[in-house]
A = this chain, B = another copy of it.
């Protein structure tokens, strides 16, 4: 690891925008009472991605991870993505 670059761990969560039909979530919600879970609602399903990247600082890492999410991982027409970046624990 050189002095001016650090490894970062990114987590990207991609969920369907509210208003977009989520049949998988509706199916899970319908199945829960039969399994004994009452009072669970608002089930939303999506995708999760984790990856490591190299950047000089946290702002740069977040910008890079957000661009990866918008260009490759999410369809911005129907999905919204949430990006979190933390320093990588393993050097």
How distant is A31 from chain B, measured CB to nearest CB, in Å?
7
At the interface, yes or no: A77 with Cβ under 8 Å from chain B?
A: no
CA distance A29 to B68 in the complex (A): 11
Number of interface residues of A (CB under 8 A): 34
How distant is A28 from chain B, measured CB to nearest CB, in Å?
6
How distant is A16 from chain B, measured CB to nearest CB, in Å?
11
At the interface, yes or no: A83 with Cβ under 8 Å from chain B?
A: no
CA distance A5 to B44 in the complex (A): 22
**Is B13 within 8 A of A72, CB to CB?**
no
Q: Which A residues have a C-beta under 8 Å from some C-beta of B?
A: 11, 13-15, 25, 28-29, 31-32, 35, 37-54, 64, 67-68, 71-73
